[in-house]
A and B are shown apart, each in its own frame.
Chain A
Amino acid sequence: MAKANLMDYEKAISLFEVVIGLEVHVELNTKTKMFCGCRNEFGEEPNTNVCPVCIGLPGSLPTVNKKAVESSISIGLALGCQIAPTGRFARKNYFYPDLAKNFQTSQYDEPIAFAGALDVEVPSGKVFTVQIERAHMEEDAGKLTHVGGATGRIQGAEYSLVDYNRAGVPLVEIVTKPVFGAGAEAPELAAAYVRSIREIVRALGVSDARMERGNVRCDANVSLRPIGQEKLGTRTETKNVNSLRSIERAVRYEIQRQAQILADGGTIIQETRHWHEDKGSTSSGRPKSDADDYRYFPEPDLVPVMPSNELIESLRAKLPENPADKRKRLAGEWGFAEMEFRDVVNAGLLDFIEEAVAAGAKPQAARKWYSGEIARIANSEDKDVSELNITPAQVAELANLVDAGKINDRIARTVLAEVLAGKGSPEEIVKAQGLEVVSDDGALIAAIDEALAKQPDVLEKIREGKLQAAGAVIGAVMQAMKGQADAARVRELVLERANQS
């Protein structure tokens, strides 16, 4: 497959207005599936969490998971949506082997939540309001593994395996209205929007929200229209882009690809496209038209969902703080510089720092550790900070040990490495390995005396006002104490000594 010609990004933005639309699927972390009692569990032996309902055996009937309905309502409320007083499920009919019944039980013209809005901040600090068209409940399909064939896709595969463990897992699909006006920041906005959704569902506790497991999946619609043109351009839908970084890259790629085609006088084909992480490009999937006929009709096996006002209000009362509001509040409470705060947000470190602060760390200390040493280690190991073997509480412990003068920065870095290696908590490691700084003045004074004996002129120099002369003694003491001394205290003791004599 020849790589498409891409227009220079700046040029593309100068010629075209970018319109994006995002469909985010959130897998709920309910104990059981959407329409049956099978466990909703990731990563188990294929086809073990299945029953007559979720593999669509003849005669079986669905029943609605109450918790999933509540989670969906909570998501709708958190997105500022209205909640439908009565919502029917609908069948979306199409044949595909991962779809046990050859229809997906979804919602069509009566979504549980509709007409919301979400403020999304992009890295430049600009805030865009993304209009939410709807959020509806549906079930996930099974997972296909295509064996043989070059592409790993169903076409050309020798055979395909189906795992129905995921079939019937509850999903909430959140659909935006077309988003205009993001200009060159459209890719960043797409990623920031998905990050916000992830933060919200994580804060709600309704999803594990792990993109690498497909808990949050994004389909990104992109279209371009010449600047000044009213009519929307033809859109493509890039499917299942599974990391924030990929979303940004995929949208950027589509902008550049489409711009070049349009500039060359070509036309954009309305189609789904697949994102290839390795190549950093999208390729053509199946053609998709608005006339795709799913023959939706109301699901006759389920009665409509009719959430009471009491239920809706009780869920509303339990909503956690909106992530944007929370950021504003924390920025004030923590007193970070604006740039410091934005860096923390963009690096995805906010939640960790918040937890570390909650565990007793000073905000600046927590920030310093997370955006410094910890981020550096994560980077060098090509991991997410969440994958490192250290909890925010342990980071707080570490920072507080330094603050209390029990260890110094250099030793703290050693302790961090030991924590990451699974040797225990910072305090345990400090204790077990005897890393605590020597705070016994007696031991320090003995070491100072020994050092002064070797450098008898130091005290005289200090008395003459050359305080930097103390450095040589401090260095010698620290060396003698193998670094486990509080250098500031040593300095104090040396100066005291000079004044006494």
Chain B
Amino acid sequence: MTELIKKTASELIELMHSGEVSSVEITQAHLDQISKVDSQIHSFLVVNAESALATAKDVDARRKAGEVLPMLAGLPIAVKDNLTTVDAPTTAGSKILEGWIPPYDATVVTKLRNQLMPILGKTNLDEFAMGSSTEFSAYGPSKNPWDISRTPGGSGGGSSSVISSFQAPLAIGSDTGGSIRFPAAVTGTVGIKPTYGAISRYGLIALASSLDQIGPVARNVLDAAYLQDVIAGHDPFDSTSLPDSLGSMVEAAKAGSLAGKRFGLIKQLSGEGFQQGVRNRFAEAIKLITDAGGEIVEVDCPSFEYAIDAYYLILPAEASSNLAKFDSVRFGMRVTPEGNPTIEKVMSATREAGFGPEVKRRIILGTYALSAGSFDKFYGAAQKVRTLIQRDFANAFSKADVLISPTAPTTAFKFGEKVADPLAMYLNDIATIPANLAGLPGISVPIGLADEDQLPVGIQFLAPSYKDGLLYEVGAALESTLEGIWGKRMIDFAPKLEVN
């Protein structure tokens, strides 16, 4: 039998259903891999072997007893550490929450537990999901399994590296400006940001409420679809969650097809200034789409030029307010200065010690953007850009069913390369941010390795809001075409990790 950890989630589900493999075996295999490689990769902030195995045992016993179990019962999963879990510390990658064990589970975590999925642990992220490399995690960065001198992308570098280093078959991510899709692109994995509101945010430690969206991280499109189907749906605890179901993503993925669809090539994101290897793979993907009967049309989205500017006003503005609750009064770190300090001094010393540089940068930026006298110029103007971007999308979707671009301008970058230059770091998200500003869904699917560095490249598909199924349909079709050409899966190209 091929190693269990190399199987896709869909394959593992079948193996469990047919009784060939138990959940304990699958869970243990991943825990073994975690022991082997995570000291190098640092995907996890906490591993919960005991509780994962307990869930696995329970599933196996119940399956043996003939009980009808939920679809994903027994399939292990990793959860980004900005989702609350009652049985594991939840830090959001910040010192200010070190050791905090929430008294409640995020809605998505509850859904995973209801599916009887063993939760292997909590994955690393840039502090409060602010970053594109995990270098801003207070607990040290995660490494890219393709080249451990490079970042696995961010903020969800823990979840992307956990999948690409076979430590878990599935993971949960969150995407505010590309935190699922960018890490997926640079680790050769699949990541989806669903339509805003498709998945409850209750229990997701908020970065920017109007942009945040939880989504699946997986080895292939079908696996991601399985996960989205079980975590999506209206939640009475999140009034921004969509009232109606978006349908079955698994069915959409299984129906995968490119033929007869119009693919809008976004003029502003067609690759100018992007790494050559990225452009080459993207061009090949376009050719494959055409060969499969898809039609390519060019669409113009002139306001995308201002997307990063608008994003870096709206996000910090909301974040500055969302992060105000970290004041030492009710939970988390407390720093009490010498003498007889006032509450303001305690709050201020705690926030000074507890927050890292990128978080402080964005709080300051956001506080300024919202302040009287700046509000119209910054926050107000950014909201107008947001409206213009939504209008650009509406125009584009009148000509095309799905929009395409490379997911990221470059392949994985090296540690330290951009951390000192916030603007360069922000540019990684140039292709992913517009979807968050407009609330619509996007997927990143691997399309090969760049010629110059042999590192993964991803293509991004964007669909109109509520049409997440369309992304699964075209994503799965392109993926299967590419796997046919390669004769194996993208992830199988990954160099074997050295085991210390």
Contacts and interface: CB of A to CB of B under 8 A. Distances in A.
Contacts of A100: 325, 330
A59 B206 contact: yes
A162 interface: yes
A260 B239 CA distance: 54
Nearest to A292: B372
B269 interface: no
Contacts of B324: 93, 95, 101-103
A293 B367 CA distance: 10
B367 A59 contact: no
Interface stretch (B5-13, B31-39, B96-104): B96-104
Interface in A176-219: none
A103 B236 contact: no
B423 to A, nearest CB: 25
Nearest to B330: A55
Interface stretch (A60-68, A226-234, A382-390): A60-68
Interface in B62-114: 82-84, 90, 92, 97, 100, 102-104, 106
Interface stretch (B197-205, B225-233, B293-301, B448-456): B197-205
Contacts of A97: 327, 329, 343
Interface in A48-72: 52, 55-64
Contacts of A95: 324, 327, 344, 347
Interface string A299-313: 011110000000000
B209 interface: yes
Most chain A CB neighbours (cut-off 10 Å) among B236, B330, B347: B330
A239 interface: no
A63 B236 contact: yes
Nearest to B109: A59
Contacts of A91: 321
Contact of A57 (B102, B342, B375, B379): B102
Main secondary structure of the interface of A (DSSP, over half): loop
A140 to B, nearest CB: 17
A58 B92 contact: yes
Contacts of A334: none
A57 B317 contact: no
Interface in B313-331: 317-318, 320-321, 324-327, 329-331
B210 interface: yes
A156 to B, nearest CB: 10
Contact of A59 (B204, B320, B327, B342): B204
B325 A59 contact: no
A162 B202 CA distance: 25
Nearest to A293: B372
A57 B321 contact: no
A282 B444 CA distance: 64
A86 interface: no
A62 B102 CA distance: 17
A160 interface: yes
A56 B209 contact: no
B297 to A, nearest CB: 34
A241 B229 CA distance: 55
Contacts of B106: 59
B371 interface: yes
Given A59-B202, A162-B329, A303-B239, A52 B103 contact: yes
A154 interface: yes
Interface in B197-222: 201-206, 208-210
Interface string B324-350: 111101110000000000111001000
B240 interface: yes
Most chain B CB neighbours (cut-off 10 Å) among A61, A91, A154, A293: A61
B238 interface: yes
A42 interface: no
Nearest to A295: B370
A58 B84 contact: yes
B370 A297 contact: yes
A488 interface: no
A57 B330 contact: yes
Contacts of A339: none
Interface residues of B, number: 46
Contact of A301 (B92, B240, B326): B240
B486 interface: no
Interface in A75-119: 91, 93, 95, 97, 100-103
Contact of A61 (B103, B237, B318, B371): B237
A57 B327 contact: no
Contacts of A1: none
B321 A302 contact: no
Contacts of B201: 61
Contacts of A63: 236-239
A55 B104 CA distance: 13
Contacts of B321: 91, 93, 103, 295, 297
B2 to A, nearest CB: 38
A467 to B, nearest CB: 82
Interface string B238-249: 111000000000
B102 A59 contact: yes
Nearest to B340: A158
A55 to B, nearest CB: 5
A317 interface: no
A59 B329 contact: no
Nearest to B97: A58
Contacts of A291: 372
A154 B201 CA distance: 36
Contacts of B236: 63
Contacts of B237: 61, 63
Nearest to B317: A297
A97 B84 CA distance: 23
Given A58-B102, A61-B238, A300-B210, A160 B205 contact: no
A102 B327 contact: yes
A301 B347 CA distance: 25
Interface in A149-167: 154-155, 160, 162
B181 to A, nearest CB: 21
A52 B104 contact: yes
A127 to B, nearest CB: 39
B399 to A, nearest CB: 30
A97 to B, nearest CB: 5
Contact of B239 (A57, A58, A61, A295): A61
A297 B209 CA distance: 12
B386 to A, nearest CB: 12
Contact of B209 (A102, A160, A295, A300): A300
The 3 A-B residue pairs with the shortest CB-CB distance in the complex, in nearest-first order = A102-B324, A300-B209, A295-B370
25 contacts: A52-B103, A57-B330, A57-B331, A58-B97, A58-B325, A59-B102, A59-B202, A59-B203, A59-B204, A59-B206, A60-B202, A61-B202, A61-B237, A61-B239, A93-B320, A95-B344, A102-B324, A102-B325, A160-B343, A295-B320, A295-B321, A295-B367, A295-B375, A297-B370, A300-B208
Given A59-B203, A91-B321, A295-B367, 15 more contacts: A57-B330, A57-B331, A58-B97, A58-B102, A58-B205, A59-B90, A59-B106, A59-B202, A60-B104, A61-B238, A63-B239, A97-B329, A100-B325, A100-B330, A295-B371
Interface of A: 52, 55-64, 91, 93, 95, 97, 100-103, 154-155, 160, 162, 291, 293, 295-297, 300-303
Interface of B: 82-84, 90, 92, 97, 100, 102-104, 106, 201-206, 208-210, 236-240, 317-318, 320-321, 324-327, 329-331, 342-344, 347, 367, 370-372, 375, 379
